[in-house]
Amino acid sequence: MTDDDANDFRDFRDFRVWAPRAERVELVIDDPASPTRGAADGTGSGGRTAHPMALRDGGWWFPEPGVDWRAGLDYGYLLDGQGPYPDPRSRRQPEGVHGLSRTDDAQGYEWHDAGWAGLPVDSAEIYELHIGTFTPEGTLDAAAGKLDHLLSIGVTHVELLPVNGFNGTYNWGYDGVAWFTVHEGYGGPEAYRRFVDACHAAGLAVIQDVVYNHLGPSGNYLPLFGPYLHHESSNTWGDSVNLEHEGAKEVRSYIIHNALMWLGDYHVDGLRLDAVHALVDHSTMHLLAELGEAVDALSADTGVKRLLIAESDLNDPVMFLGRDEGGYGLDGQWSDDFHHAVHVNLTGETSGYYADFDSVGALAKVLTRGFFHDGTYSSFREREHGVELDRAATAPWRLVVASQNHDQIGNRAIGDRLTATLGPDSLAIAAALTLLGPFTPMLFMGEEWAASTPWQFFTSHPEPDLGKATAEGRIAEFEKMGWDPDVVPDPQDPSTFTNSKLDWSEIDDPAHPEHRSVLGVYRRLATIRTTLPPGDELRLADVRVDFSEDDRWLVLERPPIVLVVNFSDAAVDLRAIAPTLGEPLFDSHAQLRGDPLPERLTAVAPHSVVVARRA
């Protein structure tokens, strides 16, 4: 077997394992189908057997001849007599992240998406959801039952928060440790395949959120196997992943193979890469460029475009610049500056990192330049931040924006949505700027009907000390934002999780018709969005903005449409600020009140937005 064969995990169906730190490795197999299973607690008797493994080049261990891989076997590894520990590339953890792994035959599933050709990424509308709180059941199969609703609001790409294994029963997903698994509580790998299949059948693409910058605090056995972490460098969550020191070649391969598993074995259409600014990599070829190269090759092989979107705090176009230009060649990146500018202009909140965005001009800059901080001083960071975009060359769809997302809601003291402080009129402004602005829009589950449920930070760590430390650390995080620590919900309290589940009955609640009204706004805006030309036909230089700081209005010209936003308490005369509007397309004031769209737009009501064709 060649080195290339040993490292090809796109069809991984044997028991090889990389464990360069061990002097002796044994494969432990516990066959659930064995009639003697459970007859002994140790290895070598009953239904559990131990098999010596042989060391080959590069720290790879292989089982003795005659040990056959098949689906449904529970197994683990003894390292120098300690363990057994789960497989670093485990596909299933039926007893949790501390239990034995279980083999899963990814090739045995009968897919029904042979005709799936993917969707254009420059016209995407992304919908971010958390499986555990999206439906009352909190499963992948239940989520698949809501796809028609997503189609009704123009969604093209469904983005799942991390689904891989974590310790406990519920979690945001960013405490994952078993990167190759699907959380059993969501339905495991079979349910995940069914979900992707159902999305493709409905005409929806799937994006999976993945975390390659850190591992969770419980169940991380990787350091026992090899140098997966670098202890001399760290980030917010602990030790950094080892991308440039001894053993880094295999660690990088581990990450790339994981990405190819989601995109290949699970037919996923793209990955959202969590907090890539926390990746410490000064290699000649950055991990993100290496990953982009591998994913581009998979896209070419399959004929289906797979996309990579980075969550980056750097405000740097290096993420999506071509690799021949010195960039990483990803498809796009998040732009939190858009969120901050919209949030401040609608809510007036200026604490913490919101301070620099306290003007209509800040929003105007984001809309025309992509980033607000593009080499300017950031008062929150206390330094200059960001890189200026080339407006003539940059297609704005490369930036993914949201007025609400899991971070910006869940990382608030009480996990409150915009709904908690804004009425339908202001929510319609946020929706219009997001869905009809020049960037790729992303919605967060429930915002389309002004869901009243919060989305709070929740954990279910079984270890009491870890649970206590998590709760205390959560309170400390809010000091710089100036939020009251006394109101922070306990992440470990089960009610913090259940309170965060969407209440779908709100949509048709006659006592609160505003939910249905806001949903109507999203559906109308989504219809308008389908009439816009592909995003690749637009450049930042084509986007123009006029605004008044004193009167608090903004005119956004995003060819071929114009949005006029009124943030003030007084009506705005359109004849004075936008006299050449063409065919009316949308008036939030009329829409929310059930009135017909005016034949001619002459004014914008307070806290409203109108949309028209450019004359």
- Catalytically active residues, by annotation: 274, 311
Can you tell me the distance from the alpha carbon of 154 to that of 508, in angstroms, rounded to the nearest whole number?
A: 20
CB 111, CB 476: distance < 8 Å: no
The CA distance from 51 to 139, in Å, is 37
| Residue found under tokens 């949030």 | 343
- Hey, what are 309's tokens? 């979107």
In b/e form, how buried is each residue of 298-327, taking b as 16+ CB within 10 angstroms?
bbeeeebbbbbbbbbbbbbbbbbbebeeeb
Q: 119-138 b/e with 16+ CB inside 10 Å = b?
A: bebbbbbbbbbbbbbbbeeb
From residue 61, give the alpha-carbon distance in Å to each of 110, 258, 602, 605.
Answer: 32, 20, 74, 70
Identify residue 228 by its one-letter amino acid code. Answer: Y
121/114 Cα distance (integer angstroms): 20
Q: Hey, what are 426's tokens?
A: 């202001």
> Which DSSP category does 534 fall into?
P
Alpha helices in 56-187 (DSSP H): 131-134, 140-144, 147-152
User: Residue 212 and residue 280: Cα distance in Å, rounded?
Assistant: 11
Output the 3-class SS for 246-289.
Answer: CCHHHHHHHHHHHHHHHHHHCCCCEEEECCHHHCCCCCCCCHHH
Cα–Cα dist 154/490, whole Å: 36
Sign for the pseudo-dihedral over CA of 524, 506, 143, 474: positive
Task: Please give, one letter per residue, the 3-state secondary structure of 156-219.
Answer: CEEEECCCCECCCCCCCCCCCCECCCCCHHHCHHHHHHHHHHHHHHCCCEEEEEECCCCCCCCC
What's the rounded Cα separation, in Å, for the pair 514 and 506?
9
In angstroms, the CA 344 to CA 279 distance is 30
Q: What is the rounded distance in angstroms from the CA atom of residue 64 to the CA atom of residue 52? A: 6
Is residue 393 within 8 Å of 422, Cβ to Cβ?
no
Give dist(CA 493, CA 475) in Å, integer.
Answer: 15
For tokens 């949903």, what's the residue?
A: 519
Locate 386 and state its tokens: 């960001």
